[in-house]
Structure 1
Amino acid sequence: MTPVVRRQHVVTIVVNPRSGRGLADRLLPRVRARLQAGLPDSDVRVVRTESYDDARKQARAAVAHSAPAEDGGRPDLLVMMGGDGMANLGLNACAGSHVQLGIIPIGTGDDFARGVGIPRRLGKAVQAIIAGRTKTIDLSLVTGELTGGEQQRYVGSIVSTGYDAKVNHRVNHARIRSYAWALLAEMAELRPLNYRLTIDGEQLDTRAVLVAVGNAGYAGGGVHLCPAADVTDGLLDVMLIGPVSRWTLIRLFPLLFRSGFVRHPAITQLRAREVIVDGDGLVPMADGEDLGTAPLRISCRPGVLTIVVGDDD
């Protein structure tokens, strides 16, 4: 009788060597060794990426070449090692598939990891992947004219379009990245924007300095824009900050780094299943990257991703 050979569980690590100013590349040998030791029956593979587009292709290829788990076996795992941009590529590759997503956060923001309960310490993040505790979560699906010629993209954390998005955009496109400098530079140019929103079919025309539509709750390296966000409730959280002075925003913004709600008359928080965001002078950003041009339709897609989380999510 021919013996039955079970297919090996495959763990593919896709890494951006430049994440964390080269920290990812320096830590990669340790990460691979610990994963292989902790998952001795698994085939641990490493893919170093050369660019953002290359990382997208490599993540999608890893999922496309994966096979569903055999009875009683562990599903294959795609591990993205880097910042929020890498995490976004991973969740887009894994969404709706049989492949689970693991993240080793080594970026400047790591907001998606923060929002879904992935440990941000290297050792704990690696141990979480070995332990294999997972959660099935929602994602936001954005449709419209998106960066890179896409027509739709999943977003894990927040779609932002106002002051916070302009700060993010300025940081991404500066020769020397300084979040503090970008905050001050955009503050000096602060103007309320004209928004045309459609929230679950209801039209809302308003002026605001910031409109955020969140699946998870964080953006901008720990700014808690959507403190009530729950990645398992099938709903989006919408946060608006109406027209305020520079000094009011300076007082408000540090409070948004804390947990819980910030109470202020200029802040409105809503929930919805679908939001269409349009307006004048908007700079849409999501998961730390340029998203596209308004108008954008953002809808909640419940339970489309299985992700490895820590013990205290």
Structure 2
Amino acid sequence: MPREIALLTNPTAGKGKGARARVAALTRLREAGVVVRDLVGRDADEALDLARATVADGVEALVVVGGDGMAHLGVQAVATTGTALGVIPAGTGNDVARYFDLPRKDPVAAAGRVVAGRTRTVDLARSGSSYYATVLCAGFDAVVNERANRMTWPRGQMRYNLATVAELRTFEPLPYTLELDGVALRTEAMLVAVGNGPSFGGGLRITEGAKLDDGLLDVVIIKPMSKPALIRTYPKLFNGTHTTHPAYEHHLARTVTIAAPGIVTYADGERFGPLPLTVECVPGALTVLA
């Protein structure tokens, strides 16, 4: 059991679920005798500053309350430090929680995993000085994210559904230049995804089969397909059966460079950066309370 942790909350996560989960988790942790530094950032920048300061100060674990965005923020603070990351899921996607089979609807049970103190060491993906734990989206899925973020209505999943429909009307396959461990590959594709883990976006298993501790990135290319075929294939992402589609292509690599025109990538559901960029696997970079 960690003796001292920092609990960092996004109170707006999951339409207010974050604030409620924080209270439940805090109670459970303190009842178990854990010393808790209770932190709430006014915005993402302040939250990251708080996280980095407490890690530098020597807390045994940084526990984030929120969704994949908060997990992403926590990863930036603890990557390669040996300080463990804990997650109390309170977002909409919660893919990081899925990876470690954490209770996604019971913050008290999730806090119990922190108290138990069992850890697992996994890889992270890194581009420049930024890390991610789940999947980097660099195509149609990233364009949908960009449109959804520009929309003010509606809220939640429906906004992404409407953005998907809107982008489907005009989206055309993109010319990609890839380099996989130094081997060049040029192709047209609907999207390219670079997975550290198997899923993103609330259980969409785009990089099905990706392992968190194999020292490799899973690169999935979806070749050009008709819009009706794309709509028919989309539901298969939830159980990973899209891998049998002839437009699906899969590669393993330690380092991947991607270039394509006009794409801003997303990773862990957060805006990550414009192409071109290079992603590398960092083996054993993250310790997770799981």
TM-score (norm 2): 0.94
Contact 2:25 2:88 in 1 (8 A): no
Contact 1:167 1:182 in 2 (8 A): yes
Matched residue of 1:21: which SS? helix
Give the counterpart letter for 2:169 in structure 1. Answer: A
Give the counterpart letter for 1:106 in structure 2. Answer: A
Matched residue of 1:136: which SS? strand
Partner of 1:78: 62
- Determine the C-alpha separation between the residues in 1 that align with 2:250 and 2:235: 18
Where do residues 1-313 of structure 1 align in structure 2 (5 Å cutoff)? Answer: 9-38=3-32, 40=33, 42-66=34-58, 76-122=60-106, 123-143=108-128, 152-176=129-153, 177=155, 178-259=159-240, 262-309=243-290
- Determine the C-alpha separation between the residues in 2 that align with 1:117 and 1:302: 21
Query: Unaligned 5+ residue runs, structure 2?
Result: none
- Determine the C-alpha separation between the residues in 2 that align with 1:63 and 1:172: 31
- Determine the C-alpha separation between the residues in 1 that align with 2:62 and 2:9: 11
- Determine the C-alpha separation between the residues in 1 that align with 2:4 and 2:228: 53
- Determine the C-alpha separation between the residues in 2 that align with 1:14 and 1:260: 36
Matched residue of 1:113: which SS? helix
Percentage of matched positions with identical amino acids: 40
- Determine the C-alpha separation between the residues in 1 that align with 2:100 and 2:28: 23
Of 254-263 and 243-252, the range deviating more from structure 2: 254-263
Contact 1:31 1:126 in 2 (8 A): yes
Of 165-174 and 115-124, the range deviating more from structure 2: 115-124
Cα-to-partner distance string for 1:236-275 (whole Å, 9 max, x where unaligned): 0011100111101001111001145530110001111110
Structure with bigger helix share is: 2
Give the counterpart letter for 2:43 in structure 1. Answer: S
- Seen in structure 2, the aligned counterparts of structure 1 residues 206 and 110 have a Cα distance that, compared at 3 Å, is same
- Seen in structure 2, the aligned counterparts of structure 1 residues 172 and 105 have a Cα distance that, compared at 3 Å, is farther
* 1:218 positional shift: 1.0
Contact 1:116 1:231 in 2 (8 A): no
Of 183-192 and 77-86, the range deviating more from structure 2: 183-192
- Seen in structure 2, the aligned counterparts of structure 1 residues 253 and 201 have a Cα distance that, compared at 3 Å, is same
* 1:172 positional shift: 2.7
Contact 1:128 1:308 in 2 (8 A): yes
Query: Unaligned 5+ residue runs, structure 1?
Result: 1-7, 68-75, 144-151
* 1:289 positional shift: 0.8
- Determine the C-alpha separation between the residues in 2 that align with 1:161 and 1:101: 27
- Determine the C-alpha separation between the residues in 1 that align with 2:200 and 2:9: 22
- Determine the C-alpha separation between the residues in 2 that align with 1:79 and 1:264: 39
Give the counterpart letter for 1:138 in structure 2. Answer: D
- Seen in structure 2, the aligned counterparts of structure 1 residues 98 and 104 have a Cα distance that, compared at 3 Å, is same
- Determine the C-alpha separation between the residues in 2 that align with 1:25 and 1:233: 36
Give the counterpart letter for 2:3 in structure 1. Answer: H
Q: From the CA coordinates, give the structure whose radius of gyration is larger.
A: 1
* 1:171 positional shift: 2.3
Give the counterpart letter for 2:210 in structure 1. Answer: A
- Determine the C-alpha separation between the residues in 1 that align with 2:268 and 2:241: 21
Give the counterpart letter for 1:88 in structure 2. Answer: H
Give the counterpart letter for 1:188 in structure 2. Answer: R
- Determine the C-alpha separation between the residues in 1 that align with 2:218 and 2:104: 24
Contact 1:274 1:300 in 2 (8 A): yes
Partner of 1:146: none
What is the count of residue pairs matched by the alignment? 284
- Determine the C-alpha separation between the residues in 2 that align with 1:246 and 1:119: 36
Of 292-301 and 255-264, the range deviating more from structure 2: 255-264
Give the counterpart letter for 1:113 in structure 2. Answer: A
Structure 1 runs of 4+ aligned residues shifted over 4 Å read none
Cα RMSD (Å) of the superposition? Answer: 1.5
* 1:49 positional shift: 1.2
Give the counterpart letter for 1:81 in structure 2. Answer: V
TM-score (norm 1): 0.87
